[in-house]
């Protein structure tokens, strides 16, 4: 006991893991570039309310959150939307700052130290082992580094190749998301408040318009960074369809990145474990990642606590890697296939799936949190995808969906113990099963 744990970045999963480990007597310090008041974002997030209890946390009081209702998904031609009823199971909507208040309070109460205004630069290596972090204030040694520094983590990005942790993401694996709250123009109330636009305006990505009582929450997510002019033009187009979106910016207005891909296959190495966005733990269609990050934080802490010899090696940390993949990662990887079809292929294919009612309300119910396991891809194929007139579009769309059924099988074959050759082979198999198309 008393081993030194460094949490790189005050990400949600890192705070949960740190809290559990500090409670068990570990010496835990979080290093974070922002100041306390700037943690998170100036907007609300939808999460599964049960996550607080799952992590042993006291949830915010009732008056601090509300519940999302039904969701309406539009295909690119906007003609045949699908409404997915929440059926009383909508996600809870919290201010991000409220979530951070809960996490920071619990972490500090359990003895976690948090050092703000510190830029993390890279891992410190000793051979194959991560032995600390290099920060703007110098080197910090650690027996274990928990990487909770988000999608562009400088730790993950600077790991040597021999750690087997993929350092970068590619096209279609990250949303560049502009999010803003605007004033609401009265007189234009949509039938469903939460509207999601797939391959919006014919572009790879997603947008949403959430119409509240006094404001409208707008998100524009694309697979490449957007210029200010591009955002302004997209907003102008959105206002034509959704005239309730006013011109006065009330909150937000920044462009941020969200991972939207399968999780890292290998998220641990000697002295290192990634959690949350640094390991791409978001649900790929929606980019929701808070719950998965927090639950993974519990899994990681359990694995560390079970490592009686305090090795924190790739072999002993593999148990965490495997638990995460089998509980969440494989389902999210299947949803990643759906995302590739719905957001990154051809407009014609997506319109066809909606117009001919091949995609159903049930297939899209992941958005409400009802169906995190995703769709049965072979079912979709049997529902008549063969009807697409354009042969190349048919082949690409059907090919992508066929792949979806194979993904779970490959994930199930994940090695039970860390054997280098077996892990590398499985990692290659995952890549082959999830790579859909050349871009
Ligand atoms: C527009 C938008 C909407 C979203 N909506 C939802 C939603 O409704 N529901 C949901 O569940 N999720 C949502 N997400 C995703 C969610 O933000 C992430 O999945 C979640 O925050 C988990 O990521 P994380 O905590 O691992 O990393 P992050 O939230 O990225 O936190 C990483 C931390 O590390 C710090 N850091 C990074 N680099 C360094 C460095 N070099 N040195 C020091 N510190 C560093 C950062 O400052 C930050 O505090 C949304 C994201 C965006 C951008």
Please name the helix (run of DSSP H) or strand (run of DSSP E) that holds residue 321, with its range, or none. Answer: helix 314-324
Residue nearest (by alpha carbon) to ligand 1 atom 26: 276
Say what the pLDDT of residue 439 is: 37
303: its two tokens: 């694995």
- Pocket-testing residue among 17, 177, 288, ligand 1, by greatest number of atoms within 8 A of Cβ: 288
| Ligand 1 atom index nearest CA of 259 | 19
Residue 405 CA, ligand 1 centroid: distance in Å: 30
Report phi then psi at 287, rounded to 5.
80, 15
Ligand 1 atom, smallest distance to 34 CA:
47
Mean pLDDT of 196-225: 94
Ligand 1 mean position to 40 CA, how many Å?
A: 7
Measured from the CA of 121, which atom of ligand 1 is nearest?
41
Atom of ligand 1 nearest to the CA of 257: 53
For the cut 80, the answer to whether the pLDDT of residue 222 exceeds it is yes
Average pLDDT of 232-247? 97
> 433 versus 379: which is more confidently predicted?
433
Beta-carbon contacts of 53 under 8 Å, excluding residues fewer than 6 positions away, are: 59
Q: What's residue 89's pLDDT?
A: 67
pLDDT greater than 60 at residue 183: yes
CB-based contact 147:278 (threshold 8 Å): yes
Using 50, 70 and 90 to split pLDDT, how confident is the model at 145?
Answer: very high
Asked if residues 266 and 321 have their Cβ atoms less than 8 Å apart, the reply is: yes
For residue 133, what are its two tokens?
């972090």
pLDDT at 312: 98
CB 2 within 8 A of CB 84: no
pLDDT tens for 348-379 read 888 888 888 877 787 777 654 444 444 455 55
What the block records as the tokens of 309 is 């010899």
Highest mean pLDDT among 140-149, 389-398, 428-437: 140-149
Ligand 1 centroid to Cα of residue 96, in Å, is: 10
Identify the residues whose C-beta falls under 6 Å from ligand 1: 9-13, 31-34, 39, 45-47, 119-120, 148-150, 154, 177, 179, 219, 256, 258, 276-278, 282, 287-291, 293
DSSP state of 159: S
> Comparing 438 with 296, which gets the higher pLDDT?
296
Q: Is the pLDDT of residue 402 over 70?
A: no
| Cα-to-centroid distance, 13 and ligand 1 (Å) | 10
Alpha carbons 142 and 65: distance in angstroms, whole number: 38
Q: How far is the CA of 68 from the centre of ligand 1 (A)?
A: 21
Prediction pTM value: 0.92
Q: In percent, how much of the chain has pLDDT > 90?
A: 71
Does the pLDDT value for residue 326 go beyond 70?
yes
Identify which has the larger pLDDT, 245 or 337.
Answer: 245
pLDDT of residue 356: 81
**What 3-state class would DSSP assign to 104?**
helix
């Amino acid at each position: 006991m008393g081993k030194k744990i460094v949490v790189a970045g005050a990400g949600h999963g890192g705070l949960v893991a740190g809290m559990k480990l500090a409670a068990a007597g570990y010496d835990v310090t979080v290093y974070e570039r922002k100041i306390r008041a700037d943690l998170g974002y100036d907007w609300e997030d939808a999460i599964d309310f049960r996550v607080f209890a799952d992590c042993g946390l006291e949830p915010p009081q009732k008056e601090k959150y509300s519940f999302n209702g039904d969701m309406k998904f539009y295909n690119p031609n906007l003609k045949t939307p699908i409404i997915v009823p929440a059926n009383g199971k909508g996600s809870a909507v919290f201010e991000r700052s409220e979530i951070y208040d809960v996490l920071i309070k619990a972490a500090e109460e359990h003895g976690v130290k948090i050092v703000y205004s510190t830029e993390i630069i890279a891992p410190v290596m000793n051979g194959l082992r991560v032995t600390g972090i290099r920060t703007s204030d110098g080197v910090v040694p650690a027996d274990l580094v928990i990487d909770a520094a988000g999608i562009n983590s400088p730790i993950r990005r600077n790991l040597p190749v021999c750690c087997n942790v993929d350092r970068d993401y590619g096209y279609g694996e990250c949303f560049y998301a502009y999010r803003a709250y605007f004033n609401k123009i009265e007189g234009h109330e949509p039938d469903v408040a939460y509207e999601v636009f797939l391959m919006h305006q014919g572009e790879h990505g997603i947008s949403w318009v959430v119409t509240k009582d006094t404001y409208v929450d707008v998100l524009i997510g694309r697979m490449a960074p957007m210029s200010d002019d591009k955002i302004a033009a997209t907003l102008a187009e959105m206002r034509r369809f959704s005239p309730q979106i006013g011109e006065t910016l009330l909150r937000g207005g920044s462009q941020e990145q969200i991972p939207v891909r399968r999780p890292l296959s290998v998220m641990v190495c000697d002295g290192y474990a990634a959690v949350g966005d640094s390991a791409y733990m978001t649900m790929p269609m929606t980019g929701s990642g808070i719950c998965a990050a927090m639950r993974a934080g519990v899994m990681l802490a359990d694995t560390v606590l079970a490592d009686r010899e305090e090795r924190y090696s790739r072999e002993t940390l593999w148990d965490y890697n495997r638990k995460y993949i089998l509980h969440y990662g494989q389902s999210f990887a299947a949803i990643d296939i759906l995302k590739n079809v719905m957001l990154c292929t051809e407009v014609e294919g997506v319109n066809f799936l909606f117009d001919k009612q091949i995609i159903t309300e049930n297939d899209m119910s992941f958005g409400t949190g009802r169906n995190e396991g995703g769709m049965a891809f072979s079912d979709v194929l049997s529902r008549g995808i063969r009807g697409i007139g354009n042969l190349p579009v048919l082949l690409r769309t059907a090919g992508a969906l066929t792949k979806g059924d194979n993904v779970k099988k490959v994930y199930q074959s994940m090695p039970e113990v860390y054997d280098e050759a077996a892990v590398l082979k499985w990692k290659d198999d995952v890549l082959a099963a999830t790579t859909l198309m050349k871009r």
